[in-house]
Structure 1
Amino acid sequence: MFKACIFDMDGVIIDSEPMHFEIDLIMTRQLGLNLTHEDLEKYVGMTNPAMWKYIKEAHMLEPSVDELSRMQMDMKLRIFKERDEKPIEGIVPLLQALRSDGYPVGLASSSPVLFIQAVIEKLQLQPYFSVIVSGEEVPQGKPAPDVFLKAAQLLQVEAEHCVVIEDSRNGVAAAKAAGMTCIGFMNLNSGLQDLTRADFIVDSITQITVSKLKNL
């Protein structure tokens, strides 16, 4: 039985993956690496430290993971504040409908707390989320289930009664590992993501309604 909805943020609440790809490509080039958009797609849904850990080890980079993550975050916050970003189509009506019907809503993102706060404040979405959890606040980020389990715990809802909306392979894997129902949102701007493990796949958030969530 559906009792709570948990949203991913990047690629679900806001179409920010193109910006992430853009900045990550700039950074990797500044570090002397010749990575492509496709090379970075496998990291979608992971925390920034996890991504940099893999890249640092693969290319023997000198800066620490913390230094790389800080450089990346500084650049993302600066660029995000300069841009006119809006919620993905269908997100606000869905959040309004969930609130109107009394369903608790959580946000479980791999992004750092500072970036999550910047997005939620800029888009004025604070009233809709009962809990917000960053992947950097739990022992393991996606594809591990920790961030979703923490959100469910804070929402005081059993994992089996939570529905997750995700746009990445790593996010879907995390939701299923948590024992939750998962709706995969096929956002083409998130790269070529394998969402086949999701229970349902949509190509628009507007296809998700409270009545449909109740029937899952």
Structure 2
Amino acid sequence: MNRQDINAVIFDMDGVLVDSEPIYFEIERYLFSHFNVKVSKEQHEAFVGTSIENMWDKLIKENNLKESKERVIKYHKKYVISHMESLPQLSLTKNARELLEDLKEKDIKIGLASSSPRQLINIILSKLDIKNYFEVIVSGDEVEKSKPHPEIFLKAAQLLGVESKKCVVIEDSANGIKAANNAGMKSIGFLNTHSGKQNLENADIIIREFPQKSLHLDI
């Protein structure tokens, strides 16, 4: 990826900017037990990157759950938001702030496209103190289709005013990488072992940690 070909970088949040996936795994295992839903480790990991709505839509059908989808999702969101609000602090991924600063200095537009609800995104970004870096934030609440559908990235690019082919996405999940590719964007796979077993082989680049400067990402 040549620098002149990239005008915007779109970040995923969970598992990329903050190592939150282990927290969600724990919360969701409780919720699966609460609603008496059986989910294997492999199936659970396959939901990484998708929205709460998408996950429960599939689980309710597969388990013939009598609870309504609306009630389950409302309970899930209330529980996870309450849990995240109660955490004393969250740690930003190593070198993430330095990379965000470098992109800003180079006048590369910065967006966030997360399948999480907007309220949860606001809580996490406030705890990390990085909300001001993002010109555009798109949540799972604001799109009809979840990753691996490209809608969330296409909307972010549109709001940034940048062509898809001039955007690069940083994602930790197979669903996210597929969504970026489906959007016609370049993709960087962020290999986070806490995000479960994720197939990132279709990413243009795979990294294990952020460099402090965008130059070292070849953008």
Q: Which residue of 2 aligns with 1:181?
A: 186
Q: Which residue of 2 aligns with 1:28?
A: 32
Q: Which residue of 2 aligns with 1:144?
A: 149
How far, CA to CA, are the matches of 1:55 and 1:153 in structure 2? 32
Task: Read off the aligned partner of 2:101 and give its amino acid letter.
Answer: Q
Q: Which residue of 2 aligns with 1:68?
A: 72
Deviation at 1:139, TM superposition (A): 2.2
Match of 1:81 among 85, 91, 97: 85
1:24-64 alpha-carbon deviations (Å, 9 max, x no partner): 10011111233343331111000100000000000011122
Asked whether the equivalents of residues 148 and 174 of structure 1 are also in contact (C-alpha less than 8 Å), the reply is yes
Match of 1:100 among 87, 97, 105: 105
Deviation at 1:6, TM superposition (A): 0.2
Asked whether the equivalents of residues 18 and 92 of structure 2 are also in contact (C-alpha less than 8 Å), the reply is yes
Moved over 2 A (4+): 33-39
Runs (5+) with no aligned partner, structure 2: none
Match of 1:169 among 160, 167, 174: 174
TM-score under structure 1 length normalisation: 0.95
Match of 1:50 among 48, 54, 60: 54
1:134-193 alpha-carbon deviations (Å, 9 max, x no partner): 123112110000000000000001000001000000000000000000000010000000
Task: Read off the aligned partner of 2:75 and give its amino acid letter.
Answer: M
Deviation at 1:72, TM superposition (A): 1.1
Asked whether the equivalents of residues 9 and 111 of structure 2 are also in contact (C-alpha less than 8 Å), the reply is yes
Asked whether the equivalents of residues 12 and 185 of structure 1 are also in contact (C-alpha less than 8 Å), the reply is yes
Match of 1:14 among 4, 18, 40: 18
Runs (5+) with no aligned partner, structure 1: none
Deviation at 1:119, TM superposition (A): 0.8
Match of 1:121 among 115, 123, 126: 126
> Please, what is the CA RMSD of the aligned residues?
1.3
Query: How many aligned positions are there?
Result: 214
Asked whether the equivalents of residues 132 and 151 of structure 1 are also in contact (C-alpha less than 8 Å), the reply is yes
How far, CA to CA, are the matches of 2:91 and 2:18 in structure 1? 7
Deviation at 1:205, TM superposition (A): 1.9
How far, CA to CA, are the matches of 1:165 and 1:146 in structure 2? 16
1:110-132 alpha-carbon deviations (Å, 9 max, x no partner): 00111111111121112100000
